[in-house]
Amino acid sequence: MTLTFSINDRQRLQLAPLEIPTRLLLGPGPSNAHPAVLQAMNTPPIGHLDPAFLHLMDEIQSQLRYVWQTENPLTIAVSGTGTAAMEATIANVTEPGDVVLVGVSGYFGNRLVDMAGRYGADVRTITKPWGQVFSLEELRTALETHRPAILALVHAETSTGARQPLEGVGDLCREFGCLLLVDTVTSLGGVPIFLDQWGIDLAYSCSQKGLGCPPGASPFTMSPRAMEKLQQRRNKVANWYLDMSLLSKYWGNERTYHHTAPTNMYYALREALRLIAEEGLANGWGRHQKNVEYLWEGLEDLGLSLHVAREFRLPTLTTVCIPEGVDGKAIARQLLNEHNIEIGGGLGELAGKVWRVGLMGFNSRKESVDSLLEALRQVL
């Protein structure tokens, strides 16, 4: 018996070859990748269990430990965007009924609340106005009140441009017997971080911001204290794909198949990490700080004010107050359409009130600042 099928050619799309505009990405992410990183992505893929690829995975782990300043054995890149790494931290150490205390001072604190609730946590929150940060005294009071299993804080709040000080928080968490979970999505690679020195137990990030790589391979790390909680779980991790008891066997000595890794994304991440090591971590932090101060000065010369107090501003992302009577979305569209420059708008409570300007990774250069300031002079 022969089966025949007819093809409806009217449904076929006639696509032109791919053509994407060249933009200067000065929003909250992604940022432009270094040419060497893009070249690495064009390397022909090999098998995800090929000995050469397994060696590359080892290099990624080693360099991520350097960038985070940690000795955590389980330090890997999750196959997914930063949100996947974010969910991995919650999924692996949160069990139903666990008290999870989240510091909410922006959009991504609220996302942590939502995720923890989905894994059955007893979620408690402490809040600050968007753009402000928590003091050690406020955190101590909250820990005394709630006695959580996990305290979750956002180091670099992408929605506000504020940097949460972390010195001393890890000591507090040990005093109260809880784990410290930290979002470093907009800080890793551009803002000083000392994971072990600060006593951070879980951290996650992304590839497309301070690391200067396209999105899709996201750093994740667990301390031995966090691993102990994972190993003592009463139930399996609810998220199979992000279960570190399984992923650790792929990234560890066993090299047990777990999933087909995005090989070309890992090529790019490995190259981005190589460039960070070549520059030197402290030099990279200094470059980000120098260039953002140049940006702040230029914005203030244009008569613009900034949302976050100077001592808590991020060197990677700046929130600029939209002047009274100015259509923020129209200005952003004009920058994109006429100058090929992308900046971001506000999220949540800051929607329509601020622009978000990123200077991250390869984009943290004086030339990037000059291009933006000149374009802003014209459109404003």
d(CA 170, CA 178): 9
Q: Give residue 22's Cα distance to chain centre.
A: 23
Which single residue is written with the structure tokens 């790019």?
268
What are 184's two structure tokens? 């470093």
Q: Of 78, 201, 181, which is closest to residue 121 (Cα–Cα)? A: 181
- Same domain for 203 and 347, yes or no, is no
- Same domain for 205 and 336, yes or no, is no
- Same domain for 85 and 197, yes or no, is yes
Angle between helices 82-93 and 224-231 (to 10 degrees): 60
- Same domain for 207 and 258, yes or no, is yes
d(CA 254, CA 111): 34
Expressed in angstroms, the distance from the first to the final Cα of the chain is 72
CATH number at residue 303: 3.90.1150.10
Burial class (CB within 10 angstroms; exposed 0-12, middle 13-18, buried 19+) of 13: exposed
Last residue of a domain, one of 277, 303, 329: 277
- Same domain for 202 and 334, yes or no, is no
Domain residues for the domain of 361 are: 24-31+280-379
d(CA 165, CA 163): 6
Each residue's pLDDT expressed in tens, for the chain with a length of 380 residues: 666 777 777 777 788 899 999 999 999 999 999 999 999 999 999 999 999 999 999 999 999 999 999 999 999 999 999 999 999 999 999 999 999 999 999 999 999 999 999 999 999 999 999 999 999 999 999 999 999 999 999 999 999 999 999 999 999 999 999 999 999 999 999 999 999 999 999 999 999 999 999 999 999 999 999 999 999 999 999 999 999 999 999 999 999 999 999 999 999 999 999 999 999 999 999 999 999 999 999 999 999 999 999 999 999 999 999 999 999 999 999 999 999 999 999 999 999 999 999 999 999 999 999 999 999 999 99
- Angle subtended at Cα 109 by Cα 107 and Cα 113, rounded to the nearest 5 degrees: 115
Query: What residues have CB less than 8 Å from 70, skipping those under 6 apart?
Result: 195, 196, 200, 221, 223
pTM: 0.95
- Same domain for 207 and 269, yes or no, is yes
Strand blocks (E) in 128-244? 150-154, 156-157, 162-163, 179-183, 202-204, 217-222
The domain tally of the chain equals 2
- Same domain for 261 and 198, yes or no, is yes
Scanning 94-201, the segments in alpha helix (DSSP H) are 107-118, 136-146, 169-175
What's the helix, strand, coil split of the chain in %, to 5?
40, 15, 40
Encode pLDDT of 147-191 as tens digits: 999 999 999 999 999 999 999 999 999 999 999 999 999 999 999
- Same domain for 352 and 260, yes or no, is no
Last residue of a domain, one of 258, 277, 296: 277
108, part of any domain: yes
